[in-house]
Structure 1
Amino acid sequence: MRSGSDVDGRSSLRLTGNVVALDEGKYVFESMLDGWANQQTSRGLQATTIDSRRRFIEDFAEFCAAYPWQWQPRDLEDYSVRVRPGKGPLKRSTIRGYQTRIRLFCDFLTDPRYGWQAECLARFGDAPQQICHDWNTISHLLDHEGDPGRRALTFDELERFFDAADARVEAIVRARRKGALAALRNAQMFKTIYAFGLRRSECIGLDVADLRSNPVAGRVRLSGGLSLRCDDQLSLV
């Protein structure tokens, strides 16, 4: 018995000769996860994101005690209400993140281009369905749903923050103390992160060669592009 996976996310299920899978349901489920992983890899998602989503779907299937072609909307609703991995209730943004992962996996299974509905219908008499809909999932209505203490800064607050970072450099220079160069570096890092929407790890990995002008867009003058290298992949922002 062997299972092959194409780069577009379609997993081919093949039985060699008269060999029958001992646990056909598990065999098909793992092939679904392999195909979904290939689809996400083809989209350029990071391996850590793909692995995290896979483990989550495996945990959800264990919670439901059923395979994806047996899932019903009530399974999602029961999970959203009952799952409490830590102390106290989960935040709305966390629950919505869980629901989004399940929605994405169901979207993959119900996409006719991958053939999983027909495959499961022929094998088990049931087909996967989208169990997430507008009436059992949390909508994203607010720009910030997390802890108010960690909200995004307003434009006025950002301006005061950058002014304070620049003023620190000037204060160190006037006092003739060490640390002016480090303070200047920090001020520029803050502005670069804000200007290009970088993560901390992306900013730390920047080099001078990653900053370049754009000769095609002369109207931007001193502004240019920024090349990011993430997991050996290059992207331009």
Structure 2
Amino acid sequence: MSPTAARTPTADAPAEGQASPAVAPGLAAALEQYLAHLAVERGLSTNTLAAYRRDLQRYAEHLTATGRTDPGEVAEADVTGYVRVLRSGEDGRAALSASSAARAVVAVRGWHRFWLLEGVVGADAARDVRPPAQPRRLPKAIPVEDVERLLDAAGRGDGPAALRDRALLELLYATGARISEAVGLDVDDLDTTPGRAAVRLHGKGGKTRVVPVGSFAAEAVEAYLVRARPALAGAGRGTPALLLNLRGGRLSRQSAWAALRQAAERAGLAGTAHLSPHTLRHSFATHLLAGGADVRVVQELLGHASVTTTQVYTLVTPDTLREVYAGAHPRAL
């Protein structure tokens, strides 16, 4: 690596919109153009854009260090070499897991495809580069009985916070919402009409979807709206947010995590440290499919762009294999 391109793993990242001194000007300009495209044309969220910036900044620094200063100079060997660097940490940074490296490669492939579509290059050097293979893992879900214990524990205690926490966790499990979608809800996003309760969730990429809300969750939210939210709202300056903190503002993701952890501890659930709001999303999908729901219906409910993402929940567990075998084979027992 040349002296001008060298960076230590602890070096501060450049401010957004500013080129790193380790990136050639031509690549830095191309990076800002692509990020602007992602923000304006594709409407990606701030967090997603920040992830793209981190991944592509590292790629641009790698290209510069290997003598590539312009998109037209990049060859397929440069891209495959970068994949190796991601997994080995040869550039002095932390080596990435297969899943993290795969995410970075997807970002790189998108950038190269953009160059081709914009006429910057004549061929896509990353077209045939595949992300590192990664093991297929079953999403972590908890049994229905543990979910019920968790939800019961969330409603324990006095004051409006207990009603709010019960409403939050009931909504997460009833709708499969991401935590960002749940805390981003406004009162007007919810319809608690008996028999047809539903919620409008604002998902990734500005996409919205309407998801039915079960009776238990609808009752918990109604109790919160009537008996708790007015008291919480009185401490603030007025907000349309559905879920409020003790100061009357919108509940944060961190506070929602804390509410889940506290409920899990009160419920005495094992593995509390590994429990997250996403666990309820996984449980929502797993329990629906176990109950006979069609995978494409679950896809719509989860807001997945592709059914391939949802199909991970259909993987058969070893326990299920044993149960089916024991019950179906004439000489299993």
**Shorter-chain TM band:** 0.5 to 0.7
Give CA-to-partner distance per residue, 1:94-137, whole Å, 9 cap, x none.
Answer: 111111110111111122xx2222xxxxxxxxx45232525x42
The one-character-per-residue Cα deviations of 1:152-177 (angstroms, maximum 9, x if unpaired) are 21xxx24123210343368x4xxxxx
Amino acid in structure 1 at the alignment position of 2:128 = H
- 2:56/2:104 contact within 8 Å kept: no
Q: Give unpaired runs (5+ residues) of structure 1.
A: 1-24, 118-126, 145-150, 173-177, 215-219
Say which of 131, 138, 160 aligns to 2:132. Answer: 138
- Report the equivalent of 2:311: none
Structure 1 range deviating more: 178-187 or 56-65 = 178-187
> 2:27 touches 2:60 (CA, 8 Å); kept in 1?
no
User: What residue in structure 1 maps to residue 197 of structure 2?
Assistant: 223
Cα distance 1:59–1:166, how it changes in 2: closer, same or farther (>3 A)?
Answer: closer
Matched, 1:163 2:134: no
Which amino acid in 2 is paired with 1:101?
Answer: A
Closer/same/farther in 2, CA of residues 108 and 140 from structure 1, 3 Å limit = farther
Structure-2 separation of matches of 1:167 and 1:49: 35
Unpaired segments ≥5 residues, structure 2: 1-22, 211-333
Matching residue within 59, 81, 84 for 1:81: 84
Report the 3-state secondary structure (helix = DSSP H, G, I; strand = E; otherwise coil) of the residue aligned with 1:138.
Answer: coil
Q: Secondary structure at the match of 2:200?
A: strand
Which residue is equivalent to 1:201?
180
TM-score, normalization: structure 2? 0.44
Tell me the secondary structure at the aligned position of residue 108 of structure 1: helix
Q: CA RMSD in A?
A: 3.5
Q: In structure 1, give the amino acid aligned to 2:125.
A: Q
Partner of 1:15: none
Deviation at 1:236, TM superposition (A): 4.0
Change (3 A) 1:163 1:48: closer
Percent of residue pairs identical: 19
Kept in 1: contact 2:151–2:170 (CA 8 A): no
8 Å contact kept, 2:181–2:202: yes
> Counterpart of 1:40?
38
| Within-5 A mapping of 1:91-102 | 91-102=97-108
Tell me the secondary structure at the aligned position of residue 225 of structure 1: strand
Q: Quick check: 1:169–1:183 contact (8 Å CA) kept in 2? A: yes
Give how far 1:213 is off: 6.4
The structure with the largest strand share of the pair is 1
Alpha-carbon separation, structure 2, partners of 1:110 and 1:48? 26
Distance in 2 between residues matched to 1:82 and 1:227, nearest whole Å: 39
SS at match of 2:132: coil
TM norm structure 1: 0.59
Distance 1:28 1:39 in 2: 17
Partner residue in 1 for 2:58: 59
How far does residue 196 in structure 1 lie from its aligned partner after superposition?
3.5
1:129 & 1:116 partners in 2: Cα distance? Answer: 10
Tell me if structure 2 keeps the 8 A contact 1:76–1:131: yes
The answer to whether the 8 Å contact 1:96/1:138 transfers is: yes
Taking the aligned partners of 1:107 and 1:213, their CA distance within structure 2 comes to 45
- Whole-angstrom CA distance in 1 between matches of 2:63 and 2:119: 23
2:263 match: none
Measured in 2, the distance between the counterparts of 1:141 and 1:221 equals 42
The answer to which structure, 1 or 2, has the higher relative contact order (CA under 8 A, 6+ apart) is: 2
